[in-house]
Structures are given as C-alpha cells and as structure tokens.
Copies of this chain bind each other. A is one copy, B any other.
Amino acid sequence: MVSKNQIKLVKSLHQKKYRNRHNLFVAEGIKVVQELVNSDFKVNSLFSTDPEINLGTTDTIEIVAEAELKKMSALTSPNNILGVFEIPQTQKPNFDGWIVVLDDIRDPGNLGTIIRLCDWFGIEHLVCSSNTVDCYNPKTLQATMGSISRVNIGYTDLQTFLQNAPVNVFGAFMEGGSVYKKDMPNSGILVMGNEANGVSKEVEAMVTQKISIPQFGKSTTESLNVATATAILLNEIRRN
C-alpha cells in the first residue's frame, strides 16, 4: 500500500518548486521509465499497476491500484508505470564538441524535442538560460522519449557562460547568413532563441556568427518552429 504522504509527495513533484526542494522528479510511461532505470539516474521509487511488469532492474517496484496511480500521475490517462528519480548534478560542459544553448525556451514540448535531437546528433551538453522551461517538467520528459538520460542539461546565466566560451558562438537569426554557405567547425556553440522573440539582446551580443535556414516558399513573414529549426541546424552541423 502506498501511503497518503507518498502520494502527496509524488503529486507535488509536478511543480518545479517541489522538484527543487526535494531534488526529485517524476517520469511516466514504460518507455521513459525504462530508459531512466537503465541509465545513471538514481531511482527513488517505482510504482506500477501491473504485477507482471519487467523493467530488467533489481529496484523494487511497488504495485499500486489504478486509482492510486491516477492520483500520482500528471496525465489524464495514466500509463501503468510511474518512477521517481533523483535530479542529477549538472556536469560542466566541455568545449571539445558542439554545445546547444537555449535562450528562454518556454514550451515544454519544444524543449523535450530538442533534448531528443541532441541525443540523435550526439550533442552531449545542453545549456539553458535560467528562464528556460524546466527539463523535468512532465510534458518535457514525455517529449524526450527517454533521451534525457543521455544529454547533460544545465541552467545558468548565459552571458557569463558565453563570455568564457573558447569557441565560436553561432546563433539562429532570421537575418543571419545562409547555413548552406558556412563551413561548420568540429566544435562550437549553437544558440537558439525564444519561440516568439528569438535570441535576447544580451545574448545576441555574445554571438560571433549569425546563421539562418534559407526559405523557399512564397511567404516572407514566417519563421520555423524552434524545434524544427534546431533539427535542421544540427543536421547541417553534422553532415559536414
């Protein structure tokens, strides 16, 4: 039996304030939970409605009633598994490879998609501005499909971080030079900006090269969604 206090704790973790207080976060669904269980993330507790569930782990899985899981879940239709994990320590990014920097990304789905893209393209470090949405937000975690276990994510003041970076800082700007015409180096920083306003003035001042994705359609006012733009730019960086 899961206690009322346990349920209350798990539920509180849907809010950033309590995640930071307890240094814990919640993941739901077999795909994400399995990836986290099999990674360096430390398990705090696991709950499932399925007595037969097999995660290939020695961690104890507490079997709970559907109604109990529903109370703990952030989803309208909960999956049959929920895991509580410790928030890992942030690792200092190294500048040997590419680093993605996010300036004030607000949409949890966009952040999740970008984490998944970093995993695909072998980007080990993602550095976010302090006002970027929390990567342990339930919607973000869902969109990562478990790839959060393979990308180091940190939150920091971007001006300070970029000031001390010993590599070129590329930034996505509508008015930037075509990425097709740039020779991308083997290491560098790629800055992506806010969904509505792009890169902030303060961060723009730290960008050494402004790049853009050429447009082929008729419209001249449109922009691309930040996650799809990141997809295209990471592909451009790697294809070289």
B117 touches A150 (CB 8 A): no
CB closest residue in chain B, given A117: B228
| Residue ID in chain B nearest A235 by CB atoms | B232
At the interface, is chain A mostly helix, strand, loop or mixed? Answer: helix
Known: A217-B119, A222-B119. A228 touches B150 (CB 8 A): no
Query: At the interface, yes or no: A147 with Cβ under 8 Å from chain B?
Result: yes
Q: Are A122 and B228 in contact (CB under 8 A)?
A: no
Q: Is the CB of B120 within 8 A of A215?
A: yes
Complex Cα spacing A123 to B217, Å? 7
CB neighbours (8 Å) of A150 from chain B are 217-219
Chain B residues near A231 (CB, 8 Å)? 224, 228-229, 231-232
Bound-state CA distance A238–B216 (Å) is 8
Q: Is A227 an interface residue (CB 8 A)?
A: yes
In this assembly, does A163 line the interface, its C-beta being within 8 Å of a C-beta of chain B?
A: no
With an 8 A cutoff between CB atoms, is A225 at the interface? yes
The number of times this chain is found in the oligomer is 2
- Whether the pair B147, A222 counts as a contact (CB closer than 8 A) is yes
**A 130-151 contacts with B by CB, 8 A:** 143, 145-147, 150
Is the C-beta of A201 less than 8 angstroms from some C-beta in chain B?
Answer: no
Return the CB mask of A25-53 against B: 1 if under 8 Å, else 0: 00000000000000000000000000000
B232 in contact with A122 (CB, 8 Å): no
Instruction: Please give, as numbers and ranges, the residues of chain B lying within 8 Å of A217 by CB-CB distance.
Output: 118-123, 147, 150
Q: Are B121 and A222 in contact (CB under 8 A)?
A: no
B-side contacts of A143, CB under 8 Å:
225
- Do A222 and B116 touch across chains, with their CB atoms under 8 A apart? yes
Known: A147-B222, A150-B218. 20 other contacts (CB 8 A): A116-B222, A116-B224, A117-B228, A118-B217, A119-B219, A119-B222, A120-B224, A121-B216, A143-B225, A147-B217, A150-B217, A150-B219, A214-B238, A216-B238, A227-B227, A227-B228, A228-B228, A231-B231, A231-B232, A235-B235
